[in-house]
């Protein structure tokens, strides 16, 4: 892998340096690389500026988070990855193809995982992201850059889904009319979000907004969970986002987000552990009203994600990175299958009466 010429020059212009670049391929948004310059190791990222339109705002958020989690009260075993300036003292560098790059420290001897091994690990995961929110809630957020406005706004996502169906830019709606109908039938879920956004008992607080096990660095030797990564979407949000994403990602027994529906199975024991872990870790920091709705977090997030994938399919795969045809459709179908199984389980346990 070679870097764009201008970036390569910038990184090596202080004499002969030995540069190795290796892609890291697990995200759907940015392009990420591990960079070795002599014996030092960094994380280099080309920011997707179609989605994150203000790279510097993003990095300023990251710098504030880094500082905040250096304190004695840091709930994690180690500090966050440190954002770094390039050798020319710039935090963002634009290459000759107008792509924006940033760099941070690379935390060595770590790996990530995407599946938990037991209910007690699921509970630990819930506690991990709850402690992120509890600690981040002490941050000054007046000047916080909102990286993606209304990111987990279900009303907005539903509107975008309806637009995508109506426009049908790539003439694909015929391939998925059943799935479209199933998702439209679930419109009553939007009312839950609407009620929340107009109600003082549902305060905004700092959420990670991509809370999954694969966004935690794990120490190679001790297997200890060290710190969260992928901090781009940290911003104020509602209670359901992080628990919902954990449920969506952990309770899905299929290996990948695009695995076929027959491989999806909802893992109820993990669901219960996430729910009780999150509820107890957040303790009095969440309101009674929020507590009551905690069990619906997974439904809201999985529904949202199914619509986001299907909208992108209908729009011609313009948002998520894809490497084959129908990948977004398969992702949407996988999420919808998980959603229906979750609904069955919640109905059977008396926590979801009807579709609202």
Residues in touch with ligand GN1 (CB under 6 A): 27-29, 51, 210, 230, 233, 257, 305
Residue 285 touches which member of ligand GN1, Mg ion, none, C-beta under 5-8 Å by kind: none
Query: Does the footprint of Mg ion cover residue 245 (CB under 5 A)?
Result: no
Nearer to ligand GN1, 11 or 29 (CB): 29
Pair type for strands 216-219 and 235-237: unpaired
Q: What is the dihedral of CA 206, 207, 213, 218, to 10 degrees?
A: -20
Strand bridging mode 93-94 / 31-37: unpaired
Per-residue interface string for the shown chain with Mg ion, residues 197-216, x marking contact by CB under 5 A:
-------------x------
Residue 56 contact partner, candidates ligand GN1, Mg ion, none, CB within 5 to 8 A by sort of partner: none
* Cα dihedral 27→118→254→220 (10° resolution): 40
| Sole window of 128-136, 169-177, 222-230, 317-325 interacting with Mg ion (rule: CB under 5 A) | 222-230
Residue 242 found at the interface with Mg ion (CB under 5 A): no
Is the CB of 297 or the CB of 305 nearer to ligand GN1?
Answer: 305
- For Mg ion, give the closer residue by CB, 233 or 327: 233
Chain-centroid distance, C-alpha 51? 13
Contact residues for 349 (Cβ-Cβ < 8 A; gap 6+) = none
Q: Which stretch binds Mg ion (CB under 5 A): 66-74, 133-141, 182-190, 230-238?
A: 230-238
User: Binders of Mg ion: how many residues, by CB under 5 A?
Assistant: 2
d(CA 356, CA 352): 8
Cβ 37 vs Cβ 17: under 8 Å: yes
Is there binding between residue 230 and Mg ion (CB under 5 A)?
Answer: yes
Q: Among 143, 146, 39, 47, which Cα is nearest to 95's?
A: 47
3-state helix, strand, coil in the chain (%, to 5): 45, 15, 40
Residue 28 partner contact from Mg ion, ligand GN1, none using kind-dependent CB cut-offs of 5 to 8 Å: ligand GN1
- What are the residues binding Mg ion (CB under 5 A)? 210, 230
């Amino acid at each position: 892998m070679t870097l764009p010429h201008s970036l390569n020059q910038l990184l090596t212009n202080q004499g002969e340096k030995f540069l190795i670049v290796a892609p890291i391929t697990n995200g759907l948004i940015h392009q990420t690389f591990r960079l070795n310059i002599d014996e030092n190791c960094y994380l280099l990222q080309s920011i997707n500026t179609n989605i994150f339109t203000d790279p510097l705002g993003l990095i300023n958020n990251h710098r504030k988070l880094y500082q905040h989690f250096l304190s004695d009260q840091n709930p994690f075993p180690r500090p966050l990855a440190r954002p770094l300036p390039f050798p020319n003292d710039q935090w963002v560098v634009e290459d000759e193809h107008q792509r924006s790059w940033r760099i941070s420290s690379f935390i060595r001897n770590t790996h990530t995982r995407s599946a938990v091994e037991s209910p007690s690990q699921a509970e630990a995961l819930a506690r991990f992201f709850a402690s992120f929110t509890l600690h981040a809630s002490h941050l000054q957020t007046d000047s916080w850059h909102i990286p993606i406005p209304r990111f987990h706004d279900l009303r907005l996502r539903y509107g975008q889904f309806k637009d995508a169906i109506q426009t049908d830019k790539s003439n694909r709606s015929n391939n998925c009319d059943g799935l479209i109908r199933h998702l439209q039938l679930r419109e009553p879920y939007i009312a839950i979000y609407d009620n929340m956004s107009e109600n003082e008992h549902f305060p905004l607080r700092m959420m990670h907004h991509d809370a999954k096990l694969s966004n935690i660095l794990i120490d190679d030797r001790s297997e200890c969970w060290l710190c969260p990564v992928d901090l781009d979407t940290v911003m104020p949000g509602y209670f359901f986002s992080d628990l919902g994403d954990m449920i969506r990602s952990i309770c899905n027994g299929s290996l990948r987000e695009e695995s076929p529906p027959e491989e999806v199975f909802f893992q109820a024991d993990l669901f219960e552990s996430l729910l009780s872990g999150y509820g107890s870790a957040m303790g009095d920091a969440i309101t009674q009203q929020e507590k009551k709705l905690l069990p619906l977090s997974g439904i809201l997030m999985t529904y949202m994600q199914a619509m986001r994938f299907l909208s992108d399919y209908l729009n011609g795969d313009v948002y998520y990175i894809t490497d084959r045809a129908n990948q977004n459709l398969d992702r949407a179908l996988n999420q919808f299958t998980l959603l229906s199984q979750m609904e069955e389980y919640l109905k059977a346990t008396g926590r979801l009466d009807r579709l609202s």
